[in-house]
Amino acid sequence: MTYDHKHSDRFEPDSSGGFYPQYPFGHGLSYTAVEYSNFSLTDSIYHVGDTIRGSIDITNTGDRTANELVLVFSQDHVASITPSVRRLRDFERVFIGPDETVTYDLSLPISALSFVHRDFVDRVEPGDFTFIVADATAEFKIE
């Protein structure tokens, strides 16, 4: 099962017809713990050609340096073709010292949210979207 599965894909641990991954995409072990907080975007409405900007704070709550891979997923709520549950849109490795907080700055062009349409052309459709970083979310709209 890929991380960008469709809503219609099934996760059934006791069935031979479904999928049941042992670990989710991006899962990994670390020698310390990090917490994400204060996820926000600069705007809630964007237009084609805009750049989506935002930030999230990452705090190392452990006593060792964290080697954290920040994964930014998007979720398109409605599209003309069945959207994936979530898709990876950006990632960056950050190093965070013990008891230190760093701010990850998100900057993505709207075109990064495109998908291949029925006519095999990349398109961005207007609608409601959500960015997901760890268990933090931020919602926005493209008009």
Check which CATH number belongs to the domain holding 111 and give it. 2.60.40.10
- Residue 101: give the domain boundaries: 34-142
User: What rounded mean pLDDT belongs to the chain?
Assistant: 85
pLDDT above 70 (res 79): yes
Do the domain assignments include residue 104?
Answer: yes
Do the domain assignments include residue 85?
Answer: yes
pLDDT above 90 (res 84): no
Highest mean pLDDT among 29-33, 99-103, 117-121, 125-129: 99-103
Count of domains in the chain? 1
pLDDT above 60 (res 12): no
Q: Which residues contact 6 (CB under 8 A, 6 or more apart)?
A: 82, 83, 84, 85
The pLDDT of residue 29: 65
Backbone angles phi and psi of 53, in degrees to 5 = -125, 145
Do the domain assignments include residue 26?
Answer: no
